[in-house]
Amino acid sequence: MPLVPTASLMDHAVREGSAVLAFNIVTLEHAEAIARACEAANSPAIIAVSHNAVRYHGDDPAPLLAAAAAVARGSGAPLALHLDHVEDEDLVLRARELGCGSVMFDASRLPHEQNIARTAAVTARLHEDGIWVEAELGEIGGKDGVHSATARTDPAEAADYVRATGVDALAVAVGSSHAMTERNASLDQDLIAALRDAVDVPLVLHGSSGVPDQDLRSAITHGMRKINFGTHLSAAFTRAVRTALDDYTGVDPRRYLAAGRDAVAAATEQQLRLLAPEPAAP
């Protein structure tokens, strides 16, 4: 089916009080696994490609995004394509050309006023192309070691930031942390509700891989509308590849990459069945 605009999936989640799940990919196998899981769960999702993944593939985003778009178009599930944590304005402004319906523009390393100015300018340009824009005030806990999971977004500052930048969604710090391999983070559910009431755009949770399922379900109830997974899938992929290599003495990478792909599909489907909304009516 054609790529679905991220805005359409998010609008449906806002209306239904549910959340859209976004899954970060690194390889083609990840994209194939996510598409398979979405078909099995009869669920929409967002396939996300981070700036770090782009760098891994030689700083050219086109091959991986083209492959992900082809997988999505060949799927029977409603899938959107998203550029995640992009710091480079030239890259983010290529979103439409690259087939993406949304971006997360990350100016959070900059001083606050510069973050606002650059994000507002980029958002205005992207809106001209019909691109849905996500951003954040400051770095979510754990990324690049700048903040811990104790970082918190202030509701009043969040409201001011959304008004000043015109973004379509806000990533917030409420207790999660990037790159967690154990699911023991504790989310501040009262803060999620306060942020929901303070801003008029959907809230986004980064670092969801370290959050227990019950906390994620509660976060959706309290107002979280987009849930991002990355490390959870990479951990499943890596465990499966290690196990496959223990039992395989050959040299064909398809033998162990297939095991990784299957593991990502299973992990994705599990999260979809637990958390994702039903697809919107045609």
pLDDT of residue 108: 86
Predicted confidence (pLDDT) at residue 90 exceeds the cutoff of 60? yes
63 is a domain residue: yes
Residue 280 lies in a domain: no
What percentage of the chain reaches a pLDDT higher than 90?
77
Q: How many domains does the chain have?
A: 1
Comparing 61-75, 107-121, 126-140, 222-236, the range with the smallest average pLDDT is: 126-140
Mean pLDDT of 70-93: 96
Domain region containing 58: 6-275
Report if residue 77 sits inside a domain: yes
Distances (CA, A) of 22 to 43, 123, 173: 12, 20, 17
We report the CATH number of the domain holding residue 129 as 3.20.20.70
Q: pLDDT tens, 232-247? A: 899 999 999 999 999 8
* Residue bearing the bigger pLDDT, 235 or 213: 235
Percent of the chain past pLDDT 70, that is, above it, reads 89
| pLDDT value for 147 | 44
- Is-catalytic flag, 84? yes
**pLDDT level of residue 177 (50, 70, 90 thresholds):** low
Position 280 pLDDT exceeds 60: no
Which range has the worst mean pLDDT, 205-209, 243-247, 270-274? 205-209
**Quick check: helix, strand or coil at residue 15?**
helix
Residues near 80 by beta carbon (within 8 Å), at least 6 away in sequence: 3, 4, 5, 6, 8, 9, 44, 45, 46, 47, 72, 101, 102
In a domain, 120, yes or no: yes
Per the CB < 8 A criterion, the answer to whether 49 and 103 are in contact is no
Measured distance CA(37)–CA(44) in Å, rounded:
10
For 216-258, the DSSP string reads HHHHHHHTEEEEEESHHHHHHHHHHHHHHHHT--S--HHHHHH
Q: Looking at residue 279, what is its pLDDT? A: 58
Q: Active site residue: 84, 106, 188, 215, which one?
A: 84
For residues 50 and 152, the model is more confident at 50
Q: Which residue has the higher pLDDT, 209 or 130?
A: 130
Work out the pLDDT band at 185, boundaries 50, 70, 90: low
**Mean pLDDT of the region 157-185:** 81
Question: What is the predicted pLDDT for the residue at 247?
Answer: 87
CA atoms within a 13 Å half-sphere pointing along the CA-CB vector of 115: 20
What's the CA gap between 17 and 196, in Å, rounded? 11
| Mean model confidence pLDDT for the chain | 90
pLDDT reported for residue 149? 63
Q: Is the pTM of this model over 0.95?
A: no
Split at pLDDT 50, 70, 90, the class of 176 is low
- pLDDT for residue 150: 67
Residue 103 and residue 82 in contact, taking contact as beta carbons nearer than 8 Å: yes
- The reported pLDDT for the residue numbered 143 is 47
Residue 38 domain flag? yes
The CA angle 3-273-170, to the nearest 5 degrees, is: 60
59 CB-near residues (< 8 Å, 6+ apart): none
Does 229 reside within a domain? yes
Q: How far apart are CA 84 and CA 139, in angstroms?
A: 13
Residue 1 lies in a domain: no
